[in-house]
Amino acid sequence: MSVKKITYFLFIVLIALLFSCTPQKSYEVKSFFFDGVPHYTDGVIIKSTDTTVQRTTEEIRRSRGVFVSYHPPYEERKCFDCHQQKNVSGSNLDLCISCHKNFNEGNTFKHGPVEGGFCVTCHDPHKSGNIKLLKITGQDLCYSCHLQEDILANTIHNTIAQQDCIECHDPHGGNNLNYMQTDSCFKCHDDFIEDSKFIHGPVSGGNCNLCHESHSSLNKNLLVKNGNNLCLHCHDKEDIYQSVSHINEQHKDCINCHNPHAENRQFLLNKNY
């Protein structure tokens, strides 16, 4: 067979492959011979990295009952953005924060994997069937490191059922002990803000942990400290006892007269005042 006939035969085979196979196979064949072929992903041809197109693509995936989240460099096949001259094994803090927020900044308490830069402990660096590129979701993700029996041993967790841990805890860290989310306590406890005119500062800010332990304490009501020692941890003792109203009240508990959460009277004065 002549070279001309062989070339013609191969051309016919190529055309047949391009137009008779599935879109996925067609993409694979085209991309083997040509550059710049629109990427085919999960039944959706992505023709642009424009954010509008990306959102439309995600909507189509969801409508078809398929959800896959992609790390943009992986989806755009920019592998060397992460792999070239980068150590992608072990801690990747410098690599990840070159594009993403550094959750260690401004946080008093830091989640171990975040502080160490082991982002891939929870997130897949390429693609995932879960939002935020999470490897797994819900309590299963947390239990991959934390012992379930230890978590459930805390009485406060007795009723969490299948509630997601991040409803109460920030997975990256925060300024509250145990990474408690602001206002997380109000998911179970009364919100003192709704019915009161004057609100104690920590309560107003949702920082219940300034006065209460979140899980266990040797003190009543899970208090961090007992009696007036708790109040004087923030309020200046000299300023308090110089007040005319307090001169003869130094041996009484502050909460005899003041509501520690909220009241409709100024200075949080309660009905016993």
Confidence of residue 24 (pLDDT cuts 50, 70, 90): low
Cβ atoms 162, 142 nearer than 8 A: no
Strands 198-199 and 44-46: unpaired
pLDDT over 90, % of the chain: 20
Give strand pairing partners of 110. Answer: 173
- Report the chain's mean pLDDT, rounded to a whole number: 78
pLDDT at 17: 58
pLDDT at 57 (0 to 100): 55
Residue 13: partners with Cβ closer than 8 Å, 6 or more residues away:
none
H or E element at residue 262: strand 262-263
For residue 47, is pLDDT > 50?
A: no
Contact 213, 154 (CB under 8 A): no
Q: pLDDT of 173-220, one tens digit each?
A: 988 878 888 777 777 777 777 778 899 988 887 788 789 877 677 888
Model confidence pTM above 0.75: no
Q: What is the DSSP letter of 35?
A: S
- Cβ-based neighbour number of residue 93 at 10 Å: 17
Paired tokens of 202: 């920590």
Instruction: For 237-259, write each residue's pLDDT tens digit.
Output: 888 888 888 877 777 889 989 99
Check residue 86 and give its pLDDT: 57
* 8 A C-beta contact, residue 212 and residue 260: no
